[in-house]
Amino acid sequence: MLNMIKQRSGSVRKIVAVALMTVALGGCATSGNQKDPVEGFNRAMFAFNEGLDAVIIKPVAKGYDAVMPTPVRTGVTNFFGNIADLFIGVNNLLQGKPAEAASDIGRVLVNSTIGILGLIDVASDMGMEKHEEDFGQTFGRWGVGDGAYVVLPVFGPRTVRDTVGLVLDVKADPVANVDDVSTRNTLLALRMVDNRADLLPADKVIEEAALDKYAYIRDGYLQRRRSLIHDGNVPREQQD
């Protein structure tokens, strides 16, 4: 697990190479779905990720969820959320939304101090709403098309645009840039497990909902990203 995470940020370049190669190959492996020209490859990678999840990540997340008292769980989620807010603010600025950016930075200031190093999300209670932004969305905002859908190893669903965004996300991620290797790995592992634990309740719902889990998650991802780029207000002509 730790090894896997250690390799994570290091191998982003390789992943991107694979993704781009995949897209290049896409022309000859059409599956009928315009958004998903490399469905065969994607399904294989999806199955790989599902296996990894079932064998390692989910059991660890379940254990974590069972052992950790709720206030501690919330504290961990808030702590990483606070670190992310800084970079969400930068992305909001790049997207030409200074008011949102100011609110994000305000959140970091409030939560890092009154909220004790980000463990308590005081800012939300004060009415400074949390946002969700990343470089993939910033590119989308700038008019970059999303490109083909790709399933990356470990990282999961992306589009070509979001894969490029992901490289910058990782480069700018304060946690991935902690100098001390063992501290960094511990933090990355903790964040990953905490994120996965937050999603545990969703598993059952997805199982109930999906006729084809791969397609359900793909289409959900694409809808979700489109909504995020437009901050929830997708123009009518771009809706299905």
Partner 1 sequence: MKHWLAALAVFVFAIGGVSAQEKAPDVLVKDVTNEVLEIVRSDKDIRNGNTRKTIDLVESKVLPHFNFQRMTQLALGKEARKASPEQMAVLVNEFRALLVRTYSSALTQYRTQEVVFKPFKPDATRPDDAVVVCQIKQSGGKPIDLVYNLEKTASGWKVYDMIVGGVSLVTNYRSSFSQEIQGNGMDGLISSLQAKNKSAETRQQSK
Give 155 or 178: the residue with its C-beta nearer to partner 1: 155
Where does this chain bind partner 1 (CB under 8 A)? 32-33, 35, 74, 77-78, 81, 121, 124, 129-132, 134, 156-158, 198-199, 201-202, 204-206, 208-209, 211-212, 215-217, 219-221, 223-224, 226-228, 232, 234, 240
Q: How far is the CB of 147 from partner 1 (least distance, A)?
A: 16
Whose tokens are 């949102």? That residue is 100
Shortest distance in whole angstroms from residue 156 CB to partner 1: 7
Nearer to partner 1, 26 or 165 (CB): 165
**SS3 call for 208:** helix
CA 80 to chain centre: 13
Q: How far is the CB of 212 from partner 1 (least distance, A)?
A: 5
- CB neighbours of residue 96 within 10 Å: 11
Q: 44-55: b or e for each residue (b if 16 or more CB lie within 10 Å)?
A: ebbeebeeebee
Choice between 14 and 213, CB closer to partner 1: 213
Distances (CA, A) of 4 to 51, 64, 89, 188, 193: 14, 18, 29, 10, 13
Pick 41 or 85: Cβ nearer partner 1: 85
- Tracing tokens 């501690």 back to the chain, one arrives at 72
Q: How far apart are CA 106 and CA 123, in angstroms?
A: 8
- Minimum distance from CB of 58 to partner 1 (Å)? 13
Find the DSSP H helices in the chain.
2-10, 12-26, 39-52, 58-67, 70-94, 98-113, 122-125, 135-141, 160-172, 181-209, 213-229
CB closer to partner 1 out of 24 and 47: 47
Three-state DSSP string of 209-233 = HCCCHHHHHHHHHHHHHHHHHCCCC
Q: At its nearest, how many Å lie between partner 1 and the CB of residue 95?
A: 15
- By C-beta, is 93 or 219 nearer to partner 1? 219
The span from the CA of 42 to the CA of 56, in Å, is: 21
- 49/165 Cα distance (integer angstroms): 20
Least distance in Å: CB of 85 to partner 1?
A: 10
Residue number, 173 or 198, with CB nearest to partner 1 = 198
